[in-house]
Amino acid sequence: MSPTIILLGDFNIHIDNPTNGLAKDFISLLECLGITQYVNFPTHNKGHILDLVCCTGITPCNLTDAEFPISDHKSVLFEVNVPLSKTRALRTITFRNIKRIDPRDLNSLIASVPSPPPSSSLTAAELVSHYNNCLSSSLDALAPLKSCIVSFVHTAPWYTAALHQLKTTGRRLERLCKKTGLLIHIQLYKEHLCLYKNALTTAKSTYYSNLISSGKGNTRNLFSTVRHLLQPPTTLPTDISSADCNDFLNFFNSKINTIHLQLAASTTSKDDPQWLSSTSHQLIPTLSNFSAATEFSITELIRKSKPTTCQLDPLPTALVKTCVPSTCPLITRIINSSLATGTVPPNLKTAAITPTLKKPGADRDDQNNYRPISNLSFISKTLERVVADQLQPYLDKNNLHEPFQSGFRSKHSTETALVKITNDLLRAADSGLLTILILLDLTTAFDTISHALLIGHLADIGITGTALSWFSSYLTDREQYVRLSTHRSSCSTVSHGVPQGSVLGPLLFIVYLLPLGTILRHHDVHFHCYADDT
């Protein structure tokens, strides 16, 4: 609780009546919380104390009442010493005027930069460096970085110019009412207050109704709108520094390392039983190489991609999508070079970590309440999409998915999970069986994946050769750093897990979890998996 609180308003409790049970309970509650109630004079025209000023950590001065002609309650006036700045908080921001960039100029500028000839022996990493330099120099030429001092004013998105005009009129009528005291002016002020209140309610309702209507068919946008309305923001403190970023990074790394040490200590045998080590997919075809991507397929992937941008991107994704003709050939070349050699360029294996609160309203000072979300470069995620578009059909065609896996799979949602579990419970009840429901929630599921085990599971389902080498390269020698606002930590090596926020992460996780189904079936346990829960 804040050390300084002022709680005031019409409580509709007759605290002046010592025999009133509700009043006695209310005063007792205030005393338990260390809050003092200061109004000791009638605030209603019938002689009761209904309007209260309750404080802790601060004492009101010159507490008096005043007649308020448009209400049957009196105004309660008081003074408190609250240091407030008369000027708005100013900040220096650095920005680029992206909106003024003409896509045609950007296309021409990127196209004018000489590309390495197809016959050159540049590696995928060198091609990525050329791509980054080309796009960043083009951005600097058309929208150089600028700095300016601004003051931030947070306004409601539904507050319109018409509402502002109504508010101005209301202030004018209020001053007129206080000046003359005439009944006609009081009546006009009351009517305008009702009009303004209804206009506020209508504007807010209309804004969010339109927002919800426009999100029909898009459950992600609809959920985001509802969450914004019902849940508090999950913003980080503004007084952060590079040291805070390093603290977050050390915490995340230490947490994962501790879990792995505990897992190693709890393992009693390194040899898997025969029934677990023998795979049921011995006759399936293998996936040893990835097919080369075409410029057309890459163009379609880029156009379907979300315009989200990471600080690792040399050019905002929204602009990349507008200059596909000039960027697509180089992106295609980078991707095909990576697929052909079975390597992921080191400059595509860095993640910028954003600590995100797991639950709205959680303690922001407790690092355990944060989840590390990996922000990856656009070209890195495009490469992952190309691989996912070949791995997913391979798993589907050869029935390599866990049959009872919902989540992270098309047409396998919470609905399919609930139907399966409900059906199992009903069948057990009809058979007179006792049912015990056990829920398995894996701690930091994505971050604790063993790279060696995952590579082994990929090999078990027929991933071999260059394709398996690519996954091994994708998982090893990754780096990450924490970035908050304009501050960032140093880089650290990622020894375990797959990036949360990556394209391949969910797909690799369900491959990693395949032996769990085998274990449960061996012990004749009915189960169903949803994402990382079982």
| 174, 147: one domain | no
| 260, 179: one domain | no
What whole-number percentage of the chain has pLDDT above 70?
92
**What residues make up the domain containing 301?**
242-530
| 72, 99: one domain | no
What whole-number percentage of the chain has pLDDT above 90?
29
Is 84 a member of any domain?
Answer: no
| 332, 471: one domain | yes
Residue-wise pLDDT for 465-477, tens only, equals 999 999 999 999 9
* 3-state percent helix, strand, coil for the chain, nearest multiple of 5: 45, 15, 40
Which H/E stretch holds residue 61?
Answer: strand 61-66
- Distance CA(285)–CA(279), nearest Å, equals 14
Which H/E stretch holds residue 197?
Answer: helix 183-214
Query: Residues of 393-427 as b/e, b for ≥16 C-beta within 10 angstroms?
Result: ebbeebebbbebbbbbbeebeeebbeebbeebeee
| 368, 466: one domain | yes
- Distance CA(236)–CA(33), nearest Å, equals 28
Tell me what pLDDT residue 497 has.
86
- Distance CA(454)–CA(461), nearest Å, equals 11
Is the pTM of the predicted complex or chain greater than 0.75? no
Pairing of strands 5-10, 51-56: antiparallel
| 280, 420: one domain | yes
Is 128 a member of any domain?
Answer: yes
| 512, 395: one domain | yes
Question: Which residue intervals of 239-373 are DSSP H helices?
Answer: 242-266, 274-277, 295-304, 317-322, 324-341
Tell me what pLDDT residue 114 has.
85
Structural domains counted in the chain? 4
Tell me what pLDDT residue 275 has.
59
Contacts of residue 336, Cβ cutoff 8 Å, sequence gap at least 6: 292, 293
| 95, 205: one domain | no
Answer for the pair 470, 342: CB distance below 8 angstroms, yes or no: yes
- Distance CA(193)–CA(175), nearest Å, equals 13
Tell me what pLDDT residue 281 has.
47
Tell me what pLDDT residue 328 has.
92
- Distance CA(383)–CA(399), nearest Å, equals 25
Is 236 a member of any domain?
Answer: no
| 352, 499: one domain | yes
Q: Which residues of the chain have pLDDT under 70?
A: 1-2, 84-89, 152-154, 215, 231-239, 268-283, 360-361, 532-534
- Distance CA(181)–CA(196), nearest Å, equals 21
Tell me what pLDDT residue 341 has.
94
| 100, 69: one domain | no
Tell me what pLDDT residue 278 has.
45
Answer for the pair 152, 90: CB distance below 8 angstroms, yes or no: no
Distance of CA 442 to the CA centre of its chain: 20
Is 389 a member of any domain?
Answer: yes
Answer for the pair 370, 377: CB distance below 8 angstroms, yes or no: no
Residue with tokens 């792995």: 260
